[in-house]
Amino acid sequence: TVSNSAGTLTVSGSHLYADEGSNTLTVTLTDIAPGTATATATGTATVADADVLAPVAATVSATEGTTFTGAVATFSNTGYPTNSASDFTAMIDWGDGSSASVGTVSGSAGTLTVSGSHLYADEGSNLLTVTLIDDAPGTATATAIGTATVAEGDTLTPVGLTISATEATTFSGAVATFTNAGYPTNAASDFAAMIDWGDGSSATLGTVTAAAGTLTVSGSHLYADELTAPASVTLTDDAPGTATATAIGTATVAEGDIFFPISPPVTATEGQAFSGLVASFVPLGAPATLGDFAATIAWGDGTTTAGTIHVTGLGFWNILGNHTYADEGSYQLTITLAEDGPGGTAFTVNNTASVADSDVLAGTGLTLAATEGTTFSGAVATFSNTGYAGNTASDLSATIDWGDGTTGSGTVSGTAGSYTVSGDHTYADEGTFTPVVTLNDLPGGASAAATGTAVAAEADVLHATGVTVNGTQATAFSGTVATFTDTGYPGNLASDFTATIDWGDGTTTSGPVALSGGTYTVEGSHTYSDKGTFTVRVTVDDGSGNVLASVSSSAVMIEDLLPGGAQGTANERFVGEVYREVLGRIVDGNSLQIWTTVLDAGVPRQAVAYAIIAVADAGELRDKIVENAYQTYLHRTADAAGLAYFGQLLAEGGTSQQIAQDLMASDEYYTVRGGGTVDGFVNAVYEDLLDRPIDAGAEAYWANAMAAGRTTRPQFIEAVMQSSEYDHVVIQDFYMTYLHRPADGSGLTMYTDQLAAGVPQNEVLAEILGSSEFFSQVST
């Protein structure tokens, strides 16, 4: 607004300054149009500070470790209530020693609020100072003082650890961990830890370290003794913090004592007290206290006693003991050195006690009176023990060899070094036996034998009955020839008896005895070469030649030369007898007709016999002749190749003499029958061809000739076969086989002369079979 007074124009106006300060004032006065006059006046506008500040309140409620954000103080502005908050600056001293920080000012209507963010590292009550300052050139300022209350932020979860330590050795390491979920970044220095080691010692401070929200408590401690016990660790937040937690772990303290065991030899004698060293322990670990240990000795025989510990000048812990072993042997000792108290460790060493035998046994056999088939029961021997008279009978065992191939155990009784061995036994047969009783100390100790005599009396009382035998000449009989009962020893085995059968034709054989239903039977097999009635005598003994029964019966043999048992003509019976003697069978009907027709036509019996022999040798007797040669000269069954080769030889007209010569000249005969020596060979040839041992002169002659190469094996065999002695043997064999008598002088001379002249053996045999003497045996 422009006013004029006395030529002075005054310009007036109204304005609201938002802030104090000194401002340049510019006033321009302009004449209104069309006037052009104008002028500008400058001056200064000085704006005074109007703010009147007063603190209203200052307070903070926070939690350690968690950033606080919010209002910390309020101020009133009564002088300039509309002044903008942006005109002010606030500084906040949080009271925990950290640097002051700039706060944020907000508000209106004369109330200003200061806000800020801060992380308190620890709980507690802190002096909060908030200063509000007007911006320059304003001078208004005010300070609000209050309290920052910081709550506990730690949340501790304990985890107890296992303390693995060794007695007398300092343990150093972690003993517990705590997770701090509430304030994982809290420093380890904010905590204190106390460790109760679980062994009754005073608790000690632990060292706390932190990493990634986990607090670890470590400590060092020396355990005086082994144990297993709870150990507790208490973690406490420093004042004024209230967080605390206790972790319970386990202290496992191992034995620190170390002993090296030594097993010295332990030797003792049964029945005598042993006293001495059984083991030594050499301390290698922490120093051990003798009073903490005790020793026990398991002697290996079921006895355990306390041992005595003696510490030598060298520091060895010797274990001494006293014991008496009741028996010899090798015993496994177990020596234990045990520390007393809970958790004490035991040290064990094994040793062997060699306990010598002290028994000195001597025995005397007794004479036993027994009866076969009846159980004997009683003493069989007595023994003395001069070395260890206190040994019990139960420590001894006895075996009894009853002398009949049976061995059993005996019963030992007696005391004071005198023992009796008794036993039970049934002798299956009569006789005199030599029982041997052996007394043995158990196990593997002394042994002694006593030999006695046992006489088992005969109990058999036999009643025998003969059985008549009926059969056919030249046909094998097999069956019962006698029966008997035994009223004296009805339970006797059939094998206890031996039966001899005299068939009444000059032949004696043994007969097996069988038992059935209380009756014994004597079985026999025999072939009568002639018809007739024979007296059969059966003798039964007990196997020792003691005849117990003898009974006679009859054997009636009828002639059966022809098929169907027909008598036939004299020529027919002659043909049947030749077949039976030569071929060993009854003539078949076709052959009987052929050969009888030839005989009836006037052909001599000698020619027919020769023809039958020739046909049989080349045919059905071929394998039998070869097999018989193998059994006679090589003592074995003929092989397939031999059967084929020599069978073909016979089929082509060869003779049994040729087969014999070939087999006896073989390397097999030389080795098997001759024993691989020249002397053995020549003697075997004599035995097989002449039925006698070679005489000394002949043996020397032939052995020297063969050794010098002057004579071969085939030449020697041929020489023997060409001898008159060999011819005599052949003729005697023919007479006994076919005429059933020794050769008379004239017949022997006649036939041996024929053989010497080169007549084949089969022709001589045919001549004998064709003789009137042979024909007379069957013609009537």
767-776, pLDDT tens digit by residue?
999 999 999 8
Q: DSSP alpha helices (H): ranges in 237-356?
A: none
For residue 658, CA distances in Å to 215, 373, 626, 688, 717 come to 118, 59, 11, 15, 11
pLDDT tens-place string over residues 575-626: 988 888 888 788 888 988 999 999 999 999 999 999 988 887 667 788 888 9
pLDDT tens-place string over residues 228-268: 899 999 999 988 888 999 999 999 987 766 778 889 999 99
> How far is Cα 411 from Cα 422, in angstroms, rounded to an integer?
5
DSSP H or E run through 660: helix 656-664
Mean pLDDT to the nearest integer, 460-470: 88
Q: pLDDT grade, residue 780 (50/70/90)? A: low
pLDDT at position 284: 81
Asked if pLDDT for residue 559 goes beyond 70, the answer is no
The residue extents of the domains of the chain are 53-151, 156-254, 259-340, 361-457, 462-558, 565-779
Lookup result for tokens 């042994």? 447
> How far is Cα 682 from Cα 716, in angstroms, rounded to an integer?
8
Q: Quote the Cα angle for 105-150-74, to 5°.
A: 25
Q: 25 by DSSP, 3-state: which? A: strand
pLDDT-wise least confident of 355-369, 414-428, 532-546:
532-546
> How far is Cα 688 from Cα 682, in angstroms, rounded to an integer?
10
Cβ contact 698:681 at 8 Å: no
Mean pLDDT to the nearest integer, 475-496: 86
> How far is Cα 750 from Cα 755, in angstroms, rounded to an integer?
9
pLDDT at position 444: 65
Burial 680-705, CB ≥16 within 10 A → b, else e:
ebbbbbbebbbeeebeeeebeebbeb
pLDDT tens-place string over residues 368-386: 999 888 899 999 999 999 8
Lookup result for tokens 């300022």? 141
DSSP conformational letter for 226: -
Mean pLDDT to the nearest integer, 382-408: 90
Tokens of 671: 């080795």
> How far is Cα 15 from Cα 548, in angstroms, rounded to an integer?
174
For residue 242, CA distances in Å to 96, 151, 231, 235, 236 come to 18, 10, 23, 11, 7
Please indicate whether the domains covering 53-151 and 565-779 agree at the CATH topology level. no
Asked if pLDDT for residue 343 goes beyond 60, the answer is no
Cβ contacts of 637 within 8 Å, gap of 6 or more? 627, 630, 631
Q: pLDDT grade, residue 77 (50/70/90)? A: very high
In the sheet where 519-526 sits, what is the strand order?
462-466, 477-486, 519-526, 513-516
| Assigned architecture for domain 156-254 | Sandwich (2.60)
Q: Which residue has the higher pLDDT, 458 or 69?
A: 69
DSSP conformational letter for 182: S
> How far is Cα 473 from Cα 451, in angstroms, rounded to an integer?
56
Cβ contact 765:731 at 8 Å: no
Amino acid at 198: G
Question: Pairing mode, if any, of strands 162-166 and 244-254?
Answer: parallel
Amino acid at 343: G
User: How many residues are there in the chain?
Assistant: 780
Pick the CATH number of 462-558 from 3.30.200.20, 2.60.40.10, 2.60.120.10, 1.20.58.60: 2.60.40.10
Mean pLDDT over each residue of the chain, to the nearest integer: 89
In the sheet where 418-426 sits, what is the strand order?
361-365, 375-385, 418-426, 407-415, 396-401, 436-441, 447-451
**CATH 1.10.3130.20, applies to 565-779:** yes
Asked if pLDDT for residue 213 goes beyond 70, the answer is yes
pLDDT tens-place string over residues 660-709: 999 999 999 999 999 999 999 999 999 999 999 999 999 999 999 999 99
pLDDT at position 605: 94
Q: 162 by DSSP, 3-state: which? A: strand
Q: pLDDT grade, residue 345 (50/70/90)? A: confident
Q: Which residue has the higher pLDDT, 511 or 749?
A: 749
For residue 86, CA distances in Å to 82, 103, 105, 108 come to 11, 12, 7, 11
Mean pLDDT to the nearest integer, 11-21: 84
The CATH number given to 53-151 is 2.60.40.10
Q: State what percent of residues in the chain have pLDDT above 70.
A: 97
Fold assignment, 361-457: Immunoglobulin-like (2.60.40)
- Helix/strand/coil (H, E, C) string of 717-731? HHHHHCCHHHHHHHH
What is the reported pTM?
0.38
pLDDT at position 734: 92
